[in-house]
Structure formats: C-alpha cells, structure tokens
Structure 1
Amino acid sequence: MPPRFKDKAPLKTLAKASQSCATQSLAYGQCIGRSYQDVSKDMCAEEFRAFKDCVQKAIGRKW
C-alpha cells in the first residue's frame, strides 16, 4: 500500500516542525551537554521522548 502523500522536502518539513518544539529541544540538548563525554544508552531518554512526541505532533504523523 503506497503512502498517502510523498513529502517532496522532508528535511524542510522536519526543520519546520522542530522549530515549534524549542523548549523540548533545549532540554534534550542540555541533558546531552551535561555529560557528553560519558554518553550511555538511554541517558536522556525522557527528554528525547518529549522532543520526539512534540515533533510528531507538529508533523502530524508518527514513525
């Protein structure tokens, strides 16, 4: 089954959607920045999940 629509500029769409999620993006960036030299899996999972959910809402689809 083909997708409902084909996004002709996916990076522009993602950039536009992420602009409306500045608060969540800042929280995620700060979390990563606090311990970027000692990165571990899921260390900022909560912040990333909030940012991802916001972007998905802005785009209007989930992945």
Structure 2
Amino acid sequence: MSGSNVRTRSREKLRAFPELFAQCSAEATVYGKCVAATTTGRQELKKDMCAKEFEALKTCFTNAAKKRVK
C-alpha cells in the first residue's frame, strides 16, 4: 500500500465530514451541550461523562457514512 493512496483516502473522508456532520447535527448538539454542561468553570471533562451522547453521535456518523457509500 503506497502512502499516496492512504493520503487520498484520508482526504476523501475529511471532505465527507461536513456532509456527515450536517446529517447528525441534532446528535452533535446534544453531545456538545453535555460537554459544555459538565465542564462549567474549571471542571474537566472526565471519561464517560457524556458517553451516551457520544455513542449516539458515533452511531449517527456511522449510519450516515454507510448511506453515503451506497
């Protein structure tokens, strides 16, 4: 596998990101609000604080990417 093929595939995935993000805007908003709410002041985001919201966003991205491939 050559390095240029890897770069080409990576660029293609990055170009698709805005489209996928648009399809998952509701999930991204919920996740963002969770992160913002749990990191008010000087509080740090801790592992699994927004796991449920992140999983919903991840699932949405995965499903949107599968639809895009077809």
Question: Larger Rg: 1 or 2?
Answer: 2
With normalisation by structure 1, the TM-score equals 0.76
Runs of 4+ in 1 over 4 A off after TM superposition: none
Aligned pair partner of 1:11 in 7, 10, 14: 14
RMSD of aligned C-alpha atoms?
A: 1.8
List alignment gaps of at least 5 residues for structure 1. Answer: 1-5
AA partner of residue 24 (structure 1): E
With normalisation by structure 2, the TM-score equals 0.70
List alignment gaps of at least 5 residues for structure 2. Answer: 1-8
Q: How many residues align?
A: 56
Q: Separation in 1 of the partners of 2:44 and 2:31?
A: 15
Does 1:27 find its partner at 2:27? no
Instruction: Report which of the two has the higher share of helix.
Output: 2
Higher RCO structure (Cα 8 Å, ≥6 apart) = 1
Percent of paired sites with the same residue? 30
